[in-house]
Amino acid sequence: MSKRLVVIGGDAAGGSAASQAKKRRPDLDVVLFERGRATSYSACGIPYWIAGTVERETQLVARTPEQHRAAGLDVRMRTEVVGIDTDEGVVHWRDLETGTEGTEGYDDLVYATGSVPMRPPVEGIDAQGVYGVQVLDDGVALRAELDSGRVQRVVVVGGGYIGLEIAEACRIRGLEVTVVDLSATPVGTFDPDVGAIIAEAVRCEDIELVLSDGVAAIDVGPDGRARAVVTRSGRELPADLVVLGLGVRPNVRLAQEAGIPLGTSGGIAVDQRMRTQVPGVWAAGDCVESVHRLSKQRVVVALGTHANKQGRVAGINIGGGYATFPGVIGTAITKICATEAARTGLSEAEAEAAGYSFVTAAVDSTTKAGYFPGATPIRVKMIAERRSGRLLGAQVVGKEGAAKRVDALAIAIWNEMTVDEVLSLDLSYAPPFAPVWDPVLIAARKAFEAVEADTRS
């Protein structure tokens, strides 16, 4: 008798898990439930579709339901799992179009429900005209609103990655945009000195930044629509539309109701093979916690890169193979207006919280040889452990061609290299791509000098 795998969630983690398991065990019955209208899509691409950089939302879809079905998966679209009975090995589902309800038994279950936008508990947060942007359906709804012609002023609450990317998308469409954030600089995962550069880049695009000031309420008009954002300092920011860019939290409600244990981070607790503490139940993606390889803390990192890898690991193991997910180091990259920014490892605040004693070094250079046409400024910052010189973190900000340098630094951190070892790396050089001393090498040299000076003191 064939075994049955049920997967809750059809995006990166769920789709990867289902595909890998079916590939390794062709006789496995795989049922995939997806409450939305698309599978295996790039949520990170939504701001670029809203801006018009990407022409059609279908371009964001890596694998359609029809393609999954052609591979042997039983895909149930617009069908929400509303309950899990782990004792009986059954999920309860509801068809969102017809209202039909039913149950599906499983031998193995993959919980891949992703995350949900954070919504602060303030008056007016659930009004019409207030949007979160997490799944493709959210993007479709937001773009339809922007295409309606009745929106001129947009207030984005939250200055993180998604908040600034949506702000830029709205500015490209010719709208008036204001971003409100409680922090003193946007994108709080960067150190304040790098955040200040990002803030200046945003302002240069005529996007108003209201910093060190959170949202207190959303003023709602007689028609039930949001019409202004009121900040904690008392400022009233008129808005035809409000976008929530405060980040996300793991979508774990069903897991909690089913008794699937969470970890200290609030995400589902899993081992390296993506198994939960309930036999036969696996989890992957934005809803699970991972181990940070530097801080050793349990963290939730909502990125498609990790979701795909975790889903792959779960699917391999369910399919009879062996795979592990080794953790994260916090690598992230974004393009904010004309400026690229990337980070990996620990920030200063994170390094201090993890108990490290460290030195820092930051250098300003150019993306190409200084004399070569198109050379633009780039700043590279490194954080190194005192005495040992181990690279703990790095941040890169600059124009086109700057930020992907962070990948070399991510590899160095992953392999526990010292800044002296980074300094000696055989990196490529040609004037159209880098100065003879690449900015990464210059920063490593400065960091090594800081380590040496600290050792002598």
Q: Which residues, 6 or more positions from 161, have their beta carbon under 8 angstroms from its beta carbon? A: 187, 332, 334
DSSP-assigned letters across all residues of 121-141: S-BTTTSBTEEE--SHHHHHH
Among 54, 107, 55, 98, which Cα is nearest to 78's? 98
**What are phi and psi for residue 341, nearest 5 degrees?**
-140, 140
Q: CB of 129 within 8 A of CB of 267?
A: no
Question: Residues 248, 117: contact at Cβ < 8 Å?
Answer: yes
Task: State how far the Cα of 435 lies from the Cα of 47, in Å rounded to an integer.
Answer: 33
Q: Is 15 exposed, middle or buried (0-12, 13-18, 19+ CB in 10 A)?
A: buried
DSSP of 289-314: -EEBTTT--EE----HHHHHHHHHHH
> Which ranges in 173-259 belong to alpha helices (H)?
192-203, 253-258
CB 445 within 8 A of CB 435: no
Is 170 a catalytic site residue?
no
Instruction: Taking the CA atoms of 363, 369, 371 and 374 in sequence, report the sign of the dihedral they define.
Output: negative
Q: Could you tell me how far CA 424 lies from the centroid of its own chain?
A: 32
Question: Residues 6 or more apart from 388 whose CB is under 8 A from it?
Answer: 418
In the numeric block, which tokens belong to residue 133? 């942007």
DSSP 261: P
DSSP conformation letters of 110-123: EE---EEE---S-B
**What is the spatial distance between Cα 447 and Cα 178, in angstroms, rounded to a whole number?**
37
- Is residue 52 within 8 Å of 173, Cβ to Cβ? yes
Tell me the sheet residues that pair with 32. Answer: 7, 75
Rounded to 10 deg, the angle between the 12-24 and 304-318 helix axes is 30
What is the 8-class DSSP label of residue 59?
G
Cβ atoms of 153 and 176 within 8 Å: the answer is yes
Mutual angle of helices 161-172 and 192-203, in 10-degree steps: 10
Task: Give the active site residues.
Answer: 44
